[in-house]
Structure 1
Amino acid sequence: MTETDSTETLTGLFEQVARRLHSSGFAAQLFPAQWSALRYIHQAAVERRTSIDLARFQGLASGAVARTVRTLIEKGLVEKKGTIGRGRAEQLQLTEKGQQMLKRDPLRSLRRAMEDLSLHERAVLAKGLETAIDATRPQRDRL
């Protein structure tokens, strides 16, 4: 196998994983962006649990993320817990229902599979994924 064949194969594997992850994200009456928001709110530092920080993390416009957050609040999965810092940013927190929903996270099977990798394999995979993420960022974000 030549280097070109190898990178083409690897790129195809990335695409296949991305498609499967996206498809599996339509679970429990949530969309992939909503699952991503739940995961972010669960894992982010308390001072970063805001809609604007979520938008930056996801690389999306704040309006789209605000709609996602509003929907999660309407579904009873997320609640606002007051403002953070000197600004108007409102802290987001998972409700008990939101925490229970994460137990149904479609990424759980992938997480379990990753646990079977050695620390070195995880580090190499993480480096590759970070490279892929950087390569797919809009040009203006790479400057």
Structure 2
Amino acid sequence: MKIEAGDRVAVEYIGRLEDGTVFGTSKYAVAVEHGLADAEDREPSDYEPLAFTVGEGDVIEGLDEAVRGMRVGDQETVHVPPDAAYGEVRSDRVREYDPETFERMVGESPAVGLHVHAQNGLHGDVVTVHEDAVEVDFNHELAGKTLVFEVEIVDHQRDE
């Protein structure tokens, strides 16, 4: 039975950037091998197939579209461009703050690489710190990138 909108699926996956860097996976051994998991700190059970309902917006558009028409046991490598993943990098998502304002909002001194959670639900990273300004990039970390997924369909259910 081919996968279609409304079906519940589970996929094993390895997500890479075009340069081969692994950014996410459902496979524990791959996570350890690529430094995404520390063998001492994480349990293999923390890694399991990604389950979602096709067409419900549970995953990025490119992955959702890619599984349609596949069957359990099918394996494919899928290239997902930015417009079907996390979008392009947008300059309006890089915000500048006065250092004192930043410290009051975040409760920490600004430092390049610091990950912050804004009250509006956005997550960002401090990208520059100057004497008079702190820049925070609220773009998704994978924005502007083509993503390459190795996927295998491991489960498929359809409500009849």
Alignment TM-score, normalising by the size of structure 2:
0.22
Rg larger in structure:
2
Higher helix fraction: Structure 1 or Structure 2? 1
Higher strand fraction: Structure 1 or Structure 2? 2
Alignment TM-score, normalising by the size of structure 1:
0.24
